[in-house]
């Protein structure tokens, strides 16, 4: 059931957020707060309820708790990422860095520890949604339409990676990183430049995302041909014309 603030009517074209948390009080608070900030909100108390909502509705992002009865947030994210690229902002009461790395390895786009400031949630969610807009009008006149590397073609406008007729699924964060590397094909891209794009990014999380990308495009991720490390600087995408 969609829940939004009674004080502010939310337009139909507003971003639609699925909040998945077994804490009813927190679900209701998040629904009202997000509604007050211009989002449409649907809630679910479990992974099973989330599946039911996802079967009938289209969402722009998911706010997902980790510790839930039944299927937990990690398991849900792993399964969900098998066939969807909808951005995920994960909530947890545990601030362990291992949990954050685990979530990022599963394809989660951002991570927020409880308790959190509601304003921070709004900022992080807004950043995630902005990153889903692949076309950058400020760069559209200068960057290539696509790049080729080995059997792969990456279209920058749509953020689509293909191998022959097959579309390779990318998370929004992976797409963002690959787009930046493709815009500078053959050039060294500093790790800091890639890290600056993500609200939760740092050197370690960039390495995690690069490793995920290598598993999707490299025959031997330990000895990459295309997504190469530039020691002490960052990374470089080696393309057919770079």
DSSP for 114-139, please give it.
SS--HHHHHHHHHHHHHHT----TTT
**Model pLDDT, residue 93:** 73
Q: Which of 8-12, 22-26, 78-82, 106-110 has the lowest mean pLDDT?
A: 8-12
CA atoms within 13 A on the CB side of 146: 10
Q: Residue 29: which pLDDT band, with cuts at 50, 70 and 90?
A: very high
Q: Is 199 left (phi over 0), alpha (psi -120 to 50) or beta?
A: alpha
pTM of the model: 0.57
Determine contact, residues 148/239, Cβ cutoff 8 Å. Answer: yes
β-bridge mates for residue 16, sequence order? 40
Tell me, which fold does domain 16-131 have in CATH?
Rossmann fold (3.40.50)
Domain edges within the chain: 16-131, 146-237
Tell me, which fold does domain 146-237 have in CATH?
Arc Repressor Mutant, subunit A (1.10.10)
pLDDT at residue 138 greater than cutoff 50: no
Average pLDDT over residues 93-116: 78
Residue 55 to residue 58: CA distance in whole angstroms = 8
Taking CB atoms within 8 Å and a gap of at least 24, the contacts of 222-228 are: 225/150, 226/149, 226/150, 226/152, 227/181
Q: How many of the other CB atoms lie within 10 Å of CB of 202?
A: 12
Q: Residue 220: which pLDDT band, with cuts at 50, 70 and 90?
A: very high
């Amino acid at each position: 059931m969609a829940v939004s603030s009674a004080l502010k009517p939310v337009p139909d074209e507003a971003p639609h957020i699925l909040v998945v948390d077994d804490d009813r009080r927190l679900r209701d608070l998040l629904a009202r707060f997000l509604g007050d900030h211009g989002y449409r909100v649907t809630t679910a108390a479990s992974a099973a309820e989330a599946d039911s909502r996802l079967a009938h509705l289209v969402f722009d992002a998911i706010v997902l708790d980790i510790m839930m009865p039944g299927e937990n947030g990690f398991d849900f994210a792993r399964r969900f990422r098998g066939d969807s690229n909808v951005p995920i902002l994960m909530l947890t009461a545990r601030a362990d860095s291992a949990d954050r790395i685990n979530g990022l390895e599963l394809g989660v786009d951002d991570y927020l520890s409880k308790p959190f400031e509601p304003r921070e949630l709004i900022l992080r969610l807004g950043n995630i949604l902005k990153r889903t807009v692949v076309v950058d009008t400020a760069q559209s006149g200068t960057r290539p339409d696509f790049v080729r590397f080995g059997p792969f073609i990456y279209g920058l406008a749509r953020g689509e990676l293909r191998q022959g007729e097959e579309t390779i699924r990318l998370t929004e964060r992976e797409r963002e990183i690959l787009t930046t590397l493709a815009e500078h094909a053959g050039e060294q891209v500093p790790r800091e430049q890639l890290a600056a794009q993500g609200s939760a990014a740092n050197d370690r999380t960039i390495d995690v995302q690069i490793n995920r990308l290598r598993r999707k495009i490299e025959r031997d991720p330990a000895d990459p041909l295309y997504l190469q490390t530039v020691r002490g600087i960052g990374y470089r995408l080696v393309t057919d014309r770079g």
